[in-house]
């Protein structure tokens, strides 16, 4: 994977009708801004209950977007990452419908994880209390089969997302077939969606247990045989992320978004600096994604302190709600359906109170942090919360999943904020120093000085949090040069 900024986007929400138009947008209006792209689920259908993360057919490109040849055309020009949804598939899939029709006689029966396969005697109260839940309620749904019998099925996320038994022969075959399909299309990286929940074991939390690490490692080895790198998507305690990082190609730095907010809200880089010193170097950095702003990633866990004290973290969350004038509160927790317990739903721009200077500082810090940066399509334009979409769907995360028209895109790329961000992105993509050694200089807590050095090339970001400004200077054989200054 190139050490250049990647775009995170849905095909049909960035002013494009399909892959052909997306490829054109990247080669023209957004030319030079991205070395890769994470294309959010483009499988059939893209408009299910969970915006494509509940595929009916994981092997079929939604015909409204194109086909696998269109995907291959995109992979010919950019690094392309796709989601491998390892935990579940749609209840509308032909496989699950066949299981409902034929029960244990279905050739797909072993593909789906039943409660009795994990708890033969049924789960005890202690078993239920031990299961880690990303959302409220039990992770099971009772389904009635055609013969009138009933089966209790694992449904970790929603009742329509049916968990796969990845240890079964059919589950393993299913995932391997997807890897082969991705390999043929030229996909260079997969994002293991919800991998932390894939293994269920009686008496455990059923989340990131030792067997989960083994599963991720086995799947990573299979992916490498197809020439595919692996990014693991897990929101969890920061020490867990550090352990995962030792075993896979890449992990997300989900701690960074809240740590940067902490910097800017409190004019203090202490917590961020502590993290940057120990953060995994094989990271993909984000400030925003198609999900919310993760809180659990910096919080304490089972008596262990987090990256930010929990009381301070509560204040940061309240500041997000205040900066968004309460709009984020309407999309977070019990206020919206399909909720996550560990995230705040808000665009990053509104989380910063629509302060353009603060937003550019945040992006500068992200681009100078160790790892390969990703920029979410709404964040690319520094945009507001989509309250109309939230009102229509009552899905909290839709507040940050706007559908852009071509005209909106045209106007956005002409704004001063986009022009400044583009300049910053081109610096990150093209300066040779970013392929060198990361350095964090000792400063006061109100200042942040990050430097990258690669032989004779050097680039430094200096942020004054008290005055809310930054400069970027480059050093090469011809001396020091001011590359960017905001404001």
193 is known as an active-site residue? yes
331-358 core/surface letters (b: 16 or more CB in 10 A; e: else):
bbeeebebbbebbbbbbbbbbbbbebbb
- Cα 216 from Cα 213, distance rounded (Å): 5
Q: Angle 210-225/169-185 helices, nearest 10 degrees?
A: 40
- Cα 222 from Cα 415, distance rounded (Å): 45
- List 163, 193, 297, 383, catalytic entry: 193
Helix (H) or strand (E) holding 300: none
**Contact yes or no for 350/323 (Cβ under 8 A):** yes
21 is known as an active-site residue? no
- Cα 25 from Cα 234, distance rounded (Å): 30
- List 233, 340, 350, 386, catalytic entry: 233
- Distance from chain centroid for Cα 270: 25
Nearest CA to 96 out of 113, 83, 80 is that of 113
**Contact yes or no for 141/179 (Cβ under 8 A):** no
Altogether, the residues listed in the chain come to a count of 487
Give the max Cα distance, the chain: 80
- Cα 77 from Cα 37, distance rounded (Å): 10
- Cα 476 from Cα 404, distance rounded (Å): 41
**Contact yes or no for 275/223 (Cβ under 8 A):** no
Show which residues are catalytic. 193, 233
């Amino acid at each position: 994977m190139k050490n250049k900024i990647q775009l995170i986007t849905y095909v049909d929400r960035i002013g494009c009708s399909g892959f052909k138009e997306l490829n054109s947008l990247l080669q023209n209006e957004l030319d030079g801004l991205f070395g890769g792209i994470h294309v959010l689920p483009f499988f059939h259908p893209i408009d299910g209950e969970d915006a494509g993360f509940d595929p009916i057919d994981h092997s079929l490109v939604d015909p409204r977007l194109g086909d696998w040849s269109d995907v291959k055309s995109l992979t010919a020009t950019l690094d392309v990452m796709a989601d491998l949804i390892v935990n579940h598939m749609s209840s509308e899939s032909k496989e699950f419908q066949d299981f409902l029709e034929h029960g244990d006689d279905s050739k797909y029966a072993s593909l789906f994880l039943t409660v009795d396969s994990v708890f033969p005697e049924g789960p005890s109260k202690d078993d239920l209390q031990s299961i880690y839940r990303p959302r409220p309620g039990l992770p099971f749904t009772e389904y009635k089969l055609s013969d009138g019998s009933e089966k209790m099925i694992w449904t970790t996320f929603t009742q329509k997302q049916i968990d796969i038994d990845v240890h079964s022969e059919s589950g393993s075959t299913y995932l391997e077939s997807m890897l082969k399909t991705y390999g043929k299309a030229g996909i260079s990286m997969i994002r293991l969606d919800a991998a932390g929940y894939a293994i269920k074991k009686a008496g455990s939390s059923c989340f990131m247990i030792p067997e989960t690490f083994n599963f991720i490692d086995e799947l990573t080895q299979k992916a490498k045989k197809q020439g595919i790198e692996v990014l693991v998507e897990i929101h969890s305690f920061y020490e867990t992320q550090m352990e995962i990082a030792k075993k896979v190609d890449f992990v997300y730095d989900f701690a960074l978004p809240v740590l940067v907010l902490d910097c800017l809200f409190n004019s203090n880089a202490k917590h961020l600096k502590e993290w940057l010193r120990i953060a995994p170097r094989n990271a993909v950095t984000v400030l925003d994604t198609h999900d919310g702003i993760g809180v659990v990633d910096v919080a304490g866990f089972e008596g262990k302190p987090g990256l930010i004290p929990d009381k301070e973290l509560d204040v940061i969350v309240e500041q997000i709600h205040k900066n968004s004038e309460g709009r984020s509160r309407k999309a977070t927790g019990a206020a919206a359906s399909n909720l996550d317990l560990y995230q705040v739903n808000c665009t990053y721009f509104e989380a910063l109170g629509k302060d353009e200077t603060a937003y550019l500082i945040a992006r500068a810090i992200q681009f100078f942090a160790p790892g390969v940066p990703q920029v979410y399509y709404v964040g690319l334009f520094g945009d507001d919360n989509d309250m109309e979409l939230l009102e229509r769907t009552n899905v909290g995360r839709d507040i940050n999943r706007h559908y852009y028209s071509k005209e909106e895109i045209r106007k956005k790329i002409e704004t001063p904020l986009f022009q400044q961000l583009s300049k910053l992105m081109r610096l990150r993509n093209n300066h040779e120093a970013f392929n060198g050694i990361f350095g964090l200089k000792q400063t006061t807590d109100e200042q942040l000085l990050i430097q990258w050095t690669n032989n004779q090339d050097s680039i430094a970001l200096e942020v004054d949090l008290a005055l809310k400004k930054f400069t970027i200077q480059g050093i090469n054989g011809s001396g020091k040069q001011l590359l960017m200054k905001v404001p």
